[in-house]
Structure 1
Amino acid sequence: MFTNNDPFAAYQQSSVEARAASANQHDLVRMLLEACLDELTKIEGHIDNRRIAEKGASVDKCLNIIMGMDAMLDMENGGELAANLHQLYDFCHRQLLSASINSDTTKLAPIVQVITDINDGWQHFE
């Protein structure tokens, strides 16, 4: 929700929505991965600064992205790749919950690495 006091946030949101509306499936996945990485950075800052409500909101966004990407997998036709991505998303989900519950930023690094690796793979996929 935006207020008149935050025109930059409103601009950013409209820019993201415009990019999403014109994106193909591969671009959407890349956008989701990048959004997940951005939220992971925010989570670390929220934990470090003891901003509990903000941490919860960012964790929720990350979990929704991870669960959404997992739900998009074609487990019937995706073969080993889909199965491996499912396991990676499951790991990230569990690790993120643990990081949140324990307010432990060290548990974020493996998630960042997994999502970065997946994102790097998508950068080369067309």
Structure 2
Amino acid sequence: MFSPASARAASSYRKASVDGASPYQLINILFERTLQSVRSARLSIQQGDVDGKCQHIGMAVRYIEEGLKLGLNPDRNDDLANRLSSLYDYCVRQLTLGNLRSDETPVAEVQQLVEQIAEGWRGIANEAQQVRAMPSLSVGA
């Protein structure tokens, strides 16, 4: 599929994009990669590619468990963190079910859920950037 040189170049590019990313961008990258894995898993199920299905679902589960879920900060908003943690657990269960049954339906549900969460996250990130870009007002100047 890829030559060793092009695979190394792609890996270096991905590493550079992650190394220079803000916390908001890192979470966005995790959402993008999760969704990419879920879409690839759905395609593998449609094509009857068992190895591809297992690989892509495994990657999606890792992005959720080791990235999105571990990135939650209950100190900032305990209720939101708990709700998202429960939703991520549900997504992992649905991905596992889709993998066991080679059923696209639960995998499609996860795609829809993650897309909605990612959309909300992008809104939060955009608002945070706007706040940071606002000039500070000095009192008494």
Please report the TM-score for the alignment, with normalisation by the length of structure 2: 0.79
Structure-2 residue corresponding to 1:41: 39
Matches within 5 A, 1:1-126: 3-4=3-4, 7=6, 9-68=7-66, 69-125=68-124, 126=128
- How many residue pairs match? The answer is 123
- What 5-or-longer segments of structure 1 have no aligned partner? none
Amino acid at match of 1:48: Q
Relative contact order, higher structure (CA 8 A, sep 6+): 1
**1:93-118 alpha-carbon deviations (Å, 9 max, x no partner):** 10000000000011112111110111
User: Which SS does the other structure have where 1:72 is aligned?
Assistant: coil
Task: Name the larger-Rg structure.
Answer: 2
Which segments of 5 or more consecutive residues in structure 2 lack a partner in the other structure? Answer: 129-141
Task: Tell me how far apart the structure 1 counterparts of residues 90 and 100 of structure 2 sit (CA, whole Å).
Answer: 15
Deviation beyond 4 Å, 4+ runs, structure 1: none
Q: Matched residues in 2 for 1:90 and 1:20: separation?
A: 25
Root-mean-square deviation over aligned CA pairs: 1.6
- Give the fraction of aligned pairs with identical amino acids, expressed as a percent: 25
Alignment TM-score, normalising by the size of structure 1 = 0.88
